[in-house]
Every structure is written in C-alpha cells, then in structure tokens.
Chains A and B, each alone.
Chain A
Amino acid sequence: MQLSDVLYWLYTASDFIAVVLAGAVTFRALEIRRVLVGGVYRRRASGIAALMVIAIIAGLTSSNTGLTTAPFFSTPVGSLFTALPLLLFFIAFYAFVDSNVLAAMEIDFFHRNMLHWRHVRAPFYGLMLFAIGVALALAYFTSNNLIYNFFTVVWVVIVFGCFGLVLGYSAAALVVISKRTPDSTLRRFVRLVGLGLVLFLISSVIWFLDVFVNYLGDVISGFFIIASTYLLYRAVMSLSPVGKLERQEIKQ
C-alpha cells in the first residue's frame, strides 16, 4: 500500500466522521429546539440543524464517497449536482451567521448596529449569489476538462475570494458580538459558531490550495472540517445549559 492510498483512506474516513458528527449535531439541535420556548434560541437550534443537513448532503456528494462515481456525475449537468450542495452550504452558513448577528443586535440592550451589519448584509448576499453563479458555470463548463485554463483558475480565485471576503467579515462580526452581547449564552454560542466558521474557512483554503497534489491537503482539510463540526456541536449544546440530575435528588 502506497502513501497515497493511506492518505486516500484517511481522507475518506475524515469525511465519514464529519458526516456522522454532523448527524449527531442535527439530532442534538432538534432535541434542544423541542424543549426551548424562546424564539431567538429555538431559531439558533433550527439554524444549526438545517446547516448540518446541508453539510451531510454536501459530504455525501463529495467526490470521494463513491456515491458520485456514476458516469452521470461527470457530465456537465451531473457536475452541477456535486457542486451545488457545497455552494449551498456556503450561503446557508452565511445566512445562519446573518441571523445570529441580527438576533444579537435585537438582544443588545441598546440595539447597536455592530460592524455596520445592517448595511453590508444585503450586498453580501448579492456577492454570494454572484460567486455561486460563477462557480456553477465553472462546474458546468469545466466538467470535461476541455477548457480548464488560466482564466478558469482566475475565476476560481474570484469565487473563493468572494466567499472568503463574506465569510471572513462574518467571522469578524461574530467576534465583535461575542465581546459586546450581554447575554452570556448567546455570547458563548456565537463564539463557538465563529470559531467553527474560521476552521471551516481554513479547511476550504487548504483544500483549494492542495487541489492538484495527492490527498495530503484533503486529509488536513478533512480534520479541520471535523474540528469545525465539533465546535458547532459544542455551540448547540451551549444554547441552554443542560444539567444532570441525581436520581436521589428527584425522589426527595
């Protein structure tokens, strides 16, 4: 067995672990959502559950799961099906961050506009949609590798630049909120989501830079994805402190 084989298996394993972990996060988020009454916190739990469902779909449709080896997925239309979940995940993550920032501003005693969020959120949605449009076009036209050239690379950089700008700014907004919001539960939650987002961005960059080398970058990127998903698990658990009760205490 060669090193590339080991790396390939590690890569597949990391994808599998991330998908299982995302399943656990979804279950926990739905359970927390069931018992919470406050709309703000219920929406946080629902948001993470929705995000994880998209992540699971994106994980299962990634190139190394074996599910997308059918000839259909190498056709231009088929390649859109493999690209779309990941792109949807990007925009879903941004939408989730957006809802967190708005919730934090609503909870803030003085309803402060943090990092000019009210002004930048709509243009950022536009930028994300533009990037997704370009990415889908690239996926369609480069699926048979006939026109993979310098300009393609430029467009890929532009697409990732757009995602990087929006999600990077989002991460900064989450950091500011985590410092300003008076609600310690939301503070802890956004801090963990922000860290999860940063790790996800790092994993995307590593994956992107290593796209032409063997599976080493994919493995490292996979472990960052696992760490990011774990942070989202911690985030959902922080939404409402869950205690353990001694049986004796209940019977008193």
Chain B
Amino acid sequence: MVSTGVASLDYVLGTDGYPDKSAILVEGPPGIGKEALGYWFVRSGLIQGEYCLYATHRPVSDILRDMRGVGVSTGDRVPEWMSSSGSQIKLDLRDPTSISFNIKQAAHNNKQRRVRVATDVLSPLLVLNPVESMYNYWSQLLSDLKQQDCVTLALAEEGMHPANILTTMEQLFDGVVEMRLYEEGLTITPLFRVKKMLGLPPLHGYFRFTVSSTGMEITPYATK
C-alpha cells in the first residue's frame, strides 16, 4: 500500500493508503482543495525516500506557495518538477506527446525505487484536445506507468467538462475520490467521498474534510 500522506484518509480507506501500482483520480470543483491531496501524497513519498514527480501546467513558484498555504513542507527534499516555468523539465500543454514521454522517461530512470506521480494536466489536456484521443492517451500512459512500481494521482476539475466526459475518464482509474460542497441550511459543508477503490468494496458514505495550514483532516459526516 502507498500512504496517501493524510493519516485520516489512510484510515478511511482501511488499507493504509492507495493500492500499489494504481492510478487515482481526484475530482471536484475548482478551489475545493484537490491539490492538497496531491501535495500530501508527494510529501509522504519524499519522506519515505521515494521518487516523486509533480507534473503541472502552473509555475513551480505557484505550487510552492500553495503548498505552504495548506501546511505542506517538504524541507530539503523536493519532488522532480515538470511545469510551465521554474523547472528543468518543461511542460507544454500544446505538446501532449512530450508530456507523456517525459513522465514515462522520469519513471523509467527511477525504476529501482517506488515512483509517485501527481499531476493536474488531465483537465487542461481534455479541454485542448478531442476527448477520444485523450482517452486513448491516458489509457496508454497509465498502463505504461503501471508496468513498474508507480502510483499516479491525477486531479480533474469538475467544472471544466461535461459530466459524461468525467464519467468516461473515471473508467481508466483504479480509484476515484470526489470532493464536493453541500448546502446544509445556511452553512456550506465540504464533503469527501470514495467513489471506487481497487480491492475495496464500494465505500458508501460521506466524510467531512478540512484543509488548513495545519494539515488535512477527514472525519465521518452525519446529519443532525
């Protein structure tokens, strides 16, 4: 098992983390805190001495600022960056082939240890390219990464795509977690749900989550 980096989420999954050699999709509206799951996932890998790659369409400086905002500190250990600016490996959204090649190459060069890949490029690539070709693209990329000891965490912006496209993409992943906002009277509550996870029976029920500068916490949610 591969720790999610969030102790309460490991507990919720009941298996101490994501399955080995799996691909996990985190979906939710923008701003809800999907990235926090990616940051904690990467941090956990760095602490355990694993190879971590963060592929993003945003500048590295933005990601570092965000990480600090949600209380993630990696200390001296930093992931390999693949981004639009501020990294050695450049990420150009207009060239999906090079993105896929660079991710696979980085994973291959570190095949002697466990690899963690976190990425937020799924949604931009889906917006910029035909859905059908992107389905094949991600299918091939995830399958290639699973050939070695690699766990991939991809973030998807719910608002950028019609629901049927996200449902289609969900088929490619071994695990899908959903983050949402729900209205409860006058207050708004952020909720978390595991839609599916390889090796686990369907996990019904919602969890309340909080993301703050002190960390991420997931607790069972029950109505009054």
Interface, chain A (partner B; CB < 8 A): 27, 31-32, 34-42, 106, 109-110, 182-186, 239-245, 247, 250-252
Residue among A37, A185, A241, A243 making CB contact with B33, cutoff 8 Å:
A37
Interface, chain B (partner A; CB < 8 A): 29-33, 35-36, 57, 62, 65-66, 69-70, 93, 124, 127-128, 157-160, 180-184, 186-191, 204-206, 211, 221-223
Q: Which residues of B contact A38 (CB under 8 A)?
A: 30-33, 35
Contact between B31 and A239, CB atoms less than 8 A apart: yes
Known contacts A31-B187, A242-B183, A252 near B29 by CB under 8 Å: no
Q: Which residues of B contact A184 (CB under 8 A)?
A: 159-160
B37 to chain A, nearest CB (A): 11
Known contacts A240-B30, A243-B180, A244-B183, A182 near B222 by CB under 8 Å: no
Contact between A251 and B32, CB atoms less than 8 A apart: no
Residue among A35, A40, A252 making CB contact with B189, cutoff 8 Å:
A35
Q: Which residues of A contact B93 (CB under 8 A)?
A: 109-110
Least CB separation from B206: chain A residue = A250
Contact between A109 and B182, CB atoms less than 8 A apart: no
Q: Which residues of A contact B221 (CB under 8 A)?
A: 250
Contact between B181 and A182, CB atoms less than 8 A apart: no
Ordered nearest first, which 8 A-B pairs have the shortest CB separation?
A38-B31, A41-B31, A37-B33, A252-B204, A36-B31, A185-B159, A184-B159, A37-B211
Can you offer 13 A-B residue contacts whose CB atoms are under 8 A? A32-B188, A35-B181, A35-B190, A37-B69, A38-B30, A39-B69, A42-B31, A185-B30, A240-B29, A240-B32, A243-B182, A244-B182, A251-B223
Q: Which residues of B contact A239 (CB under 8 A)?
A: 31
Q: How far is the CA of A184 from the CA of B165 in the complex (A)?
A: 15
Q: Which residues of B contact A247 (CB under 8 A)?
A: 223
Least CB separation from B204: chain A residue = A252
Known contacts A31-B187, A184-B159, A184-B160, A240 near B205 by CB under 8 Å: no
Contact between A242 and B205, CB atoms less than 8 A apart: no
Contact between B124 and A109, CB atoms less than 8 A apart: yes
Q: Which residues of B contact A40 (CB under 8 A)?
A: 30-31
B93 to chain A, nearest CB (A): 5
Q: Which residues of B contact A27 (CB under 8 A)?
A: 186
Q: Which residues of B contact A42 (CB under 8 A)?
A: 31
Residue among A37, A41, A109, A244 making CB contact with B128, cutoff 8 Å:
A109
Q: Which residues of A contact B222 (CB under 8 A)?
A: 250-251
